[in-house]
Amino acid sequence: MSSIESYLSAQILAAKSITDNVYDGIVYVSHSLSETAKYEILKPLLPSITAYSEIHKDIENTTTLIAVDRNVVPSRKLIFAGTGPVNRDHDDVRRFGIAARNGMKLALKTGMKAPLILTLPHKKYPQAELVSALGIMHELYIPLNVREEKKTKTLMKLVKALDASFTVCRDIGDSDPQRMSPPYVAEYVTNAFNGTNISIRIISDVTEIEREFPLMAAVNRAANNVKDHQARLIWLEYNPEGSCNETIMLVGKGVTIDTGGADLKTGGNMFGMCRDKYGAAVVAGIFKALEILKPKHVKFCGYMCMVRNSIGSSSYTCDEIIRSRSGKRIAIYNTDAEGRITMLDPLTNMVELAKLEKKPRLFTLATLTGHCILSYGYMAAAIDNGPARVDHTAETIRDWGDVFGQPVEVSRLHWEEFDGMN
């Protein structure tokens, strides 16, 4: 069983004093000089910051290294990471995360190895401290290929859980198509959850996938002649202790490299498509957080649909008609729509299983980059079906995203978009 610590970007400890010698510097994420004086623990820093602000009037908008008295900070290193404005209508909590990242970048350049992180609270942003901590941890992430008291405890646990979650997600999502081919994703996930409270089941048999998930099998058909490229369908399950009031069911797109298939991506548009597996990577990351946080009364099920959309003599092509798990015949118009084709049969299976669950909610997670980038740039999007729209699911996701500095835009389906699909 892998320990939580092995997935953390750095060791996380709760500080008792800013003068503790265990820390070799301070990164102070702040939105206001005047507000600093309201907190006793921060007052010793104020003379040095105020003196510096007299010669640098724009300090609140910048990231700066300030020398302080050794009696205050033994290393004398204080990095003031200004958030810039945070009270305008269009500002959000991400400013704390960005300031923290900038502060950590400078801290590393100054040679800090064990910085103390301080965040000035803001009543408008109750999660500012968490977002700052995650910004710090983001800068400390080491890629997989290279690695080969009440409130405080709650915050530390949440930071550890989310940082471990992000590490699992990025290990799978960012790694190249060979290091994280479908079989190696399955191996990584098995190691990540071995001996934990997360159940895992992997379908690897080509014949079984062809029989039970024919659309997914079609997408991976051209890759089957290379053993390391054969598809994997990974099932993850979290069951809470005690009663269960609802079930969250996730299906993640995991295309380890998207060539476009027979409808080949051209003009350099294939570059970066190893990240087309981020939907499945997010599913794995969610379950790593569940393993640590152990939420009550809610069950989670997840499918990671790991395929490789290769091109070759066995490629599925446009004009093919494939009978899906549900019995419907699917006419292929473009093989570069491999994500929805890959997820459809596992989603159908989730619908079958949902009939046995309490208050089931189904979500697909995918890098549908064409729609998102054209509509929202690099923001994520949430799209409701009918029941989810009634329940305001997308708006709820958007609102929580704002709280934690993870912006999500709401995209809507309209009947006109389905006119040509009969």
Which tops the pLDDT comparison, 259 or 9? 259
* pLDDT for residue 13: 83
List residues bridging with 309 in a β-sheet: 258
* Chain centroid to CA 196: 21
Find the range with the poorest average confidence among 45-54, 222-231, 243-252, 364-373: 364-373
* pLDDT for residue 229: 98
* pLDDT for residue 81: 97
Cα 346 from Cα 362, distance rounded (Å) = 11
Band of the pLDDT at 22, cuts 50, 70, 90? confident
Band of the pLDDT at 209, cuts 50, 70, 90? very high
Q: Are strands 198-203 and 77-82 parallel, antiparallel or unpaired?
A: unpaired
Check if the beta carbon of residue 179 is closer than 8 Å to that of residue 144: yes
* pLDDT for residue 150: 58
Centre a 10 Å sphere on the Cβ of residue 102 and count the other Cβ atoms it contains: 20
* pLDDT for residue 234: 99
Residue 184 has pLDDT above 90, yes or no: yes
Domains and CATH numbers, the chain: 4-140 (3.40.220.10), 176-367 (3.40.630.10)
Average pLDDT for the chain:
93
Average pLDDT over residues 146-169: 85
Band of the pLDDT at 422, cuts 50, 70, 90? low
Which tops the pLDDT comparison, 279 or 71? 279
Quick one: which of 144, 226, 233 has its CA closest to 180? 144
Cα 218 from Cα 207, distance rounded (Å) = 12
Handedness of CA 260, 266, 269, 271 (dihedral sign): positive
List residues bridging with 330 in a β-sheet: 322
Q: Catalytic amino acids?
A: 265, 340
Band of the pLDDT at 84, cuts 50, 70, 90? very high
* Chain centroid to CA 367: 12
Band of the pLDDT at 156, cuts 50, 70, 90? confident
* pLDDT for residue 4: 83
Centre a 10 Å sphere on the Cβ of residue 227 and count the other Cβ atoms it contains: 9
* pLDDT for residue 162: 96
Tell me the pLDDT tens digit for each residue of 101-149: 999 999 999 999 999 999 999 999 999 999 999 999 999 887 777 677 6
